[in-house]
Amino acid sequence: MPRHLRFWLIGVLGFCLVLGSSLGLGWPMFSTVQSPPPLSGLVQAGQPPTATLSFLGPTQFRGKTVAQVKVPAGQKVIALTFDDGPWGTSTTEVLAILAQHEVKATFFWIGAHLQRYPEVAKQVVKAGHAVGNHTWNHTYKPVTEEIAIKEIENTSFLIAKTTKVQTRLFRPPGGILNNGLVAYATKKNYTTLMWSVDPHDSAPKGTSEDIIKRVLAQAKPGGIILLHDGGGDRQATIKALPAMITKLKAKGYSFVTIPELLRLGGGTPKPSPTPLASPVPSPTPSLAPDLPKPKPAPTTPPEPPPAEPAVTPVPQAPPTTPAVQPIPLPSPSPQP
């Protein structure tokens, strides 16, 4: 083959690989966006979009980390959650399966993907599913609070701008609890959602049969199932989903969204292998000191001291956390 023709074919092949990656044909794109859009003036730069739907979570779960919910006896419910979307055709395929089986789920979105697929996101909300925040870049690295603000609040702002949904449901990428993201989310009263069922559906060589077996083996009432609809080739998950739903229903399970699950009972935090970054200790209420016992009179037989009044802690009002206004997102630069 002539040398100039060989070089031409190599160039065409390289262009096709780049194009395929940018279109999301099976390769994760987390590394294509290095940093969230810059902020100008933080919250002061503008007013947040008006939301018509809110997923805030019950008060007792705000600022908490939850992996499973203790539900009342007889409530055999479980929650499907999907990470890393919205995503091209795979998210729409998941939506079609959920609609066919009359199941509602919760989708945790990456800001960079939402910027890329806003119409898919609108379909998710229109179908009645709940949504949460999965950061802008899906970063695993330790971050400063300034970066955490950009990762989380830029995503919240874009969710509200695109879908008119205000959400305070947060899922840390990779389930990492100590890189600065969860510390910020906790400080701002997001509910951090982990999971109790992990079928490893995003594993490169995973099969639909493996996914189904792991879900059925780990499922318990009040559980949260981790699945993925974006970030790469999700055909194994899509293939497993119908049978997974059917088999769980046959075992007596019904499906709820994360907000519905939280309303059913108390949460069980997922233990962290290492402490959260910069943990804030809970204040211990101080009690009034014990009253001194009276001394007996010197010229009369001693009398028993009067009973001491019970010391009652002074009730403290719960701390008020100012409402977090999403940070306005500048006009996005064109994706490569």
pLDDT in the model for residue 52: 80
How many Cβ atoms sit within 10 Å of the Cβ of residue 228?
22
Roughly what angle, to the nearest 10 degrees, separates helices 118-126 and 88-100?
Answer: 10
Residues taking part in catalysis: 83, 228
Per-residue pLDDT at 188 exceeds 90: yes
**Tell me: the pLDDT tens digits for 135-180?**
999 999 999 999 999 999 999 999 999 999 999 999 999 999 999 9
**Tell me: the pLDDT tens digits for 227-261?**
999 999 999 999 999 999 999 999 999 999 999 99
**What average pLDDT does range 282-291 have in this prediction?**
29
Per-residue pLDDT at 289 exceeds 70: no
**Tell me: the pLDDT tens digits for 55-98?**
988 999 999 999 999 999 999 999 999 999 999 999 999 999 99
Per-residue pLDDT at 267 exceeds 50: yes
**What 3-state class would DSSP assign to 17?**
helix
Which of 189, 149, 178, 159 is CA-nearest to residue 57? 189
Distance from C-alpha of 31 to C-alpha of 43, rounded to nearest angstrom: 27
74 compared with 12, residue with greater pLDDT: 74
For 290, the token pair is 């014990």
Q: Look up the pTM and report it.
A: 0.71
Which of 171, 226, 221, 177 is CA-nearest to residue 198? 226
> Which residues on adjacent β-strands are paired with residue 109?
85, 133
In the chain, what are the domains? 65-268 (3.20.20.370)
**What's the N-to-C CA distance of the chain in angstroms?**
33
**What 3-state class would DSSP assign to 104?**
coil
